[in-house]
Amino acid sequence: MNIIIDAFGGDNAPAEIIKAARQAIDELGVEMTLCGDEAKIRACAEELGVNIADMKLLHAPEVFDIHAQPATIVKEGKDTSLAVGLQALRDGQGDAFISAGSSGGLVTGATLITRRIKGIKRPAMTAMLPTAKDKFILLDAGANIECRPEMMVQFAVMGSAYMKCVKGIERPRVGLLNVGAEETKGRELELETYKLLQASSLNFVGNAEARELPQGNFDVVVADGFAGNMILKLYEGMGGFFRDKLKDWFSGGGKLAALFILGKIKAFRKQMDYKEEGGGIILGAAYPVIKAHGSSDAKAFFNAIRQAKRCVEGDMVNEIARTIEAMKEA
C-alpha cells in the first residue's frame, strides 16, 4: 500500500511530514510518496537525520497558496505539491492522499482531478467529533453551503460507509441535524431529507438537536455545510476552552485533587485532541483523500496516514459506490 502525502502542506512542512512518513514506514508497513520540491525535501531530511532512501519523491516546484481561488488548482496550480499528489493518486501511483494545505484547493482537486465516485453529486468535508461515549462523524463540515435533500442522503450513505469500514460499526446510527426532535421541525431541506432518510435502508434514528451531540447517541450526523461548519467551529472552540480551564485548575488550588483523577483528565484531553484522529476525510472522491489540520505535527500526520491505511483496507470507496448503486436500483 502506498500513501501519497503533500510534503509542503501545512504550517510545519516539510519536517513534521518527513518524520511522520518515516514512522509510518517503520510501524505501519506502508510505502510513502512525498510530493514537493525534491531538493528541499532531501535537505530537510538530512538536517533531521531521517533516512528517506525508501521513500518515493515526486518533484513539485510550487506550493498551492491557501489564499488562491480553489478552482486554480487544475491549471495555474498544476505544478504544486497538492495538484501533483492528486494527479499521482488518479494515475494509480498510490492508494490514498493526505494534505494539510488549502481546504478549498483539496476539495476542488479531489472533485476535478481524482473525480467523484459514480453517482455522487458532491463530495463532503467531514470531522470526527468527541462525545461522552466515543466519536461521531459530522458531514458536511463546510464544503457545501447550499445543499439539496438528495445530497444530504448521500452524505448519510458516505458517513455510514466510513463508520462501518474504518471504525467497525456494522449499522451506524444516523441523525439529521435539526432545531427539534420532531419530524415536523426544520426548513424544507430538513423536512424533505427526513422523509428520504426514513425511507432508506440506512439506520436513521431521527433528528439530532445540537445539545444532543455530545451525548453519543449518533454515529453519523448529517448537516448542510453552513450548519455543519458552525458545529465544528463550536467544538474546536469548546475544546480550547476546556483545555484552558484544566490548565487554570492545575495551576491553582486544585493540584492535589487533580492527582486523584489524573488518568481521567489525560483521557479527556486525548479525546479532545484533533491530532489523535489525523484528519477529516473528503468523502465522495474516487479515492481516499484526507485533509489534515494546518497546524499538524508529526503525531497528527502519522495518525492521518494510519487513517488513510484503514480506509484502503476497509474498502471504503467501493462500499460507498455499492450502496449508492443499490439505492438507485431500489
Looking at residue 71, what is its pLDDT? 94
Amino acid at position 281, single letter: I
**What local confidence, expressed as pLDDT, does residue 266 receive?**
65
pLDDT digits (tens, 9 = 90+) for 234-268: 988 887 777 777 777 666 655 555 666 666 666 66
Q: Taking the model in full, what pTM does it have?
A: 0.92
Q: Is residue 308 part of a domain?
A: no
Q: Are residues 151 and 172 located together in one domain of the fold?
A: yes
Tally of structural domains, the chain: 2
Neighbours of 325 (CB within 10 A): 13
Same domain for 183 and 241 = yes
Q: 129-150, pLDDT tens digit by residue?
A: 999 889 999 999 999 999 999 9
C-alpha cell at position 37 = 520540491
DSSP 8-class letter at 15: H
Q: Are 16 and 139 part of one and the same domain? A: no
Give yes or no: residues 194 and 292 share one domain.
no
Whether 115 and 127 map to the same domain: the answer is no
pLDDT tens-digit readout, 292-304: 999 999 999 999 9
Residues 126 and 259 in one domain: yes
Query: Across all residues in the chain, what is the average pLDDT?
Result: 93
Distance, in Å, from the CA atom of 272 to the CA atom of 318, rounded to the nearest integer, reads 31
Q: Domain range for residue 289?
A: 1-120+284-296
Indicate if the pLDDT at residue 330 is higher than 70: no
Do 38 and 74 share a domain, yes or no? Answer: yes
Confirm if 289 and 282 have CB atoms less than 8 A apart.
yes
